[in-house]
Amino acid sequence: MALLPLIPLAQFPNELADAVRRGLSTRMLSSTTPVQVWAHRPEVAAAWLAVLDQMHNHGVLDERLRELVRLRIASFTTCRACQTARKSATVTDADLACLASSDPRFSEAERAALRFAELFAADPLAIDEAIFADLRAWFSVAQIVELNMFCALMLAGGRMTRAQQAYEA
């Protein structure tokens, strides 16, 4: 149970209610519980969802890569909602069996992104020129920028949701 009170969906302002409907319909959101906590600050919650929407529905990163990175970061945040949600059917149970940057089942580009996500979540001071050179071998500058922003959003969101225990029991 969430540690902060949930705002009922029926009490959401129109902008936030619309954002939640869009998020659920595109699989960007798998649960409304975190948003029901954030709804105590509806304008900020809507802004957060707008950024998520940009990356999830209008991003320059491949859907599979985004999902792999999201799930890898979820292993660091230990957010149950993040770990159990599936935002894309492109990631299989076999992919999840050993979701690590060293796993040969992943492409070189996926391994580079996963390596970056692991360091971003666990040891950001280890991210150096060599890590960025590896990313540049596979991704455009716009994709690398989005990967950075996506990792930041997933890490922050996962930790926030975990700390608030804003997921179904």
- Predicted local distance difference test score (pLDDT) of residue 76: 93
Can you tell me the distance from the alpha carbon of 47 to that of 52, in angstroms, rounded to the nearest whole number? 9
Q: What is the pLDDT of residues 17-61, one digit of tens each?
A: 999 999 999 999 989 999 999 999 999 999 999 999 999 999 999
Q: Identify the residue with better confidence: 97 or 10.
A: 10
Q: Where on the phi/psi map is residue 164: left (φ > 0), alpha (ψ -120 to 50), or beta?
A: alpha
- Predicted local distance difference test score (pLDDT) of residue 50: 97
Question: Which span out of 77-81, 85-89, 109-113, 160-164 was modeled with the highest average pLDDT?
Answer: 109-113
Q: Are 84 and 59 spatial neighbours (Cβ–Cβ below 8 Å)?
A: no
Q: Identify the residue with better confidence: 70 or 167.
A: 70
Provide the pLDDT confidence category of residue 85 given band limits of 50, 70 and 90: confident
- Predicted local distance difference test score (pLDDT) of residue 62: 94
| Mean pLDDT confidence for 85-94 | 88
Can you tell me the distance from the alpha carbon of 81 to that of 84, in angstroms, rounded to the nearest whole number? 6
Q: What is the pLDDT of residues 93-121, one digit of tens each?
A: 888 888 889 999 999 999 999 999 999 99
φ, ψ at 5 (rounded to 5°)? -65, 145
- Predicted local distance difference test score (pLDDT) of residue 169: 59
Residue among 91, 69, 75, 80 nearest 30 (CA)? 80
CA atoms within 13 A on the CB side of 77: 29
Residue 9 CB neighbour total at 10 angstroms: 14
**The architecture CATH gives domain 63-164:** Up-down Bundle (1.20)
Provide the pLDDT confidence category of residue 64 given band limits of 50, 70 and 90: very high
DSSP result, 94-154: HHHHT--TT-TTS-HHHHHHHHHHHHHHH-GGG--HHHHHHHHTTS-HHHHHHHHHHHHHH
Domain ranges of the chain: 9-58, 63-164
Q: How many residues does the chain have?
A: 169
Provide the pLDDT confidence category of residue 70 given band limits of 50, 70 and 90: very high
Q: What is the CA 101 to chain-centroid distance, rounded? A: 17
